[in-house]
A = this chain, B = another copy of it.
Amino acid sequence: MNFDVFKNRVSISKENMYREFFQENRNRIKIKKAPVAVKNLIKISEATLALSNKKGFSAMSMRDLSTEAGLSVGALYSYFSSKDELIEMIQQQSMRVATRVLVDQLTGIDDPHFKLKQAIYAHLYLSEIMHTWFYFSYMETKNLTKKVQKRAIELELFTEKIFTDIIEQGKQDRIFRDVNEELVAAMIKAILQDWYLKRWKYEMRNVSVEQYARFLIDLVELYLKP
């Protein structure tokens, strides 16, 4: 599966993404007109992601954010009631979309070889589309409230378990050899994450996301071959 095919399949348009963001946080957001709210949530979130990913969320001041988003500080507080709430909303939206897309892309697939491949593609392509969100989540998780931290850890383990289960299945079907599936799954996750954590490196070397996916799939298939 190449990247463009995936993009069409999941159709995570900016508008859809932020419409959902708005719907999910309707109660907290003071602005009631959807078109206005969505338009500004885009500006606010993108500014937050840009500034945080550059120098860290807690180093980003509300004045910084106000300038970058093109909204006054006062207006910002119509969309969230504290910096903590803002970081939490962004984190949650990122986790919501990620979970849904991954589950969607894999339901109905049974063959472990194929499912493994699809899982790797889905993770990588998704992280490519949502790069700033994923990077933000990874780097800022430790700054979140305990409750949200816990959910982030659950997501890490949930996505890892997708791989553990596939490998387990493949072992039972005797198409994969007997390996420590937890270590293999952890290894896959680490490599998937490196793609969005060290994007500068892969960009510098002109490694495409398809090439990276291909490499990882080959590696894992080779390791699992009986």
Tell me the A residues contacting B by CB distance below 8 Å: 53-56, 58-59, 139, 142-143, 153, 156-157, 180, 182-183, 186-187, 189-191, 193-194, 198, 200-202, 205, 207, 212, 215-216, 219, 222-223
| B180 contacts A190, C-beta separation under 8 Å | no
| B183 contacts A215, C-beta separation under 8 Å | yes
Query: What is the CA–CA distance of A53 and B143 in the complex, to the nearest angstrom?
Result: 10
| B186 contacts A190, C-beta separation under 8 Å | no
Query: What is the CA–CA distance of A38 and B78 in the complex, to the nearest angstrom?
Result: 50
The 5 nearest A-B residue pairs measured at CB: A190-B194, A58-B59, A58-B58, A183-B215, A190-B190
| B205 contacts A143, C-beta separation under 8 Å | no
- Shortest beta-carbon distance from A126 to chain B in Å: 18
Query: What is the CA–CA distance of A156 and B187 in the complex, to the nearest angstrom?
Result: 19
With known contacts A182-B205, A219-B223, A143–B194 Cβ distance under 8 A: no
| B182 contacts A219, C-beta separation under 8 Å | no
Task: List 11 other contacts, CB 8 Å, given A56-B143, A190-B191, A222-B223.
Answer: A59-B143, A157-B201, A182-B205, A183-B215, A186-B198, A187-B191, A187-B194, A187-B216, A190-B193, A190-B198, A193-B194
Query: What is the CA–CA distance of A143 and B52 in the complex, to the nearest angstrom?
Result: 10
Report chain B residues within 8 Å CB of A205.
Answer: 182
**Other-chain residue from B55, B142, B189, B219 in contact with A55 (beta carbon distance below 8 A):** B142
Query: What is the CA–CA distance of A54 and B141 in the complex, to the nearest angstrom?
Result: 10
Most buried by B among A156, A191, A207: A191
Query: What is the CA–CA distance of A219 and B184 in the complex, to the nearest angstrom?
Result: 9
- Shortest beta-carbon distance from A77 to chain B in Å: 21
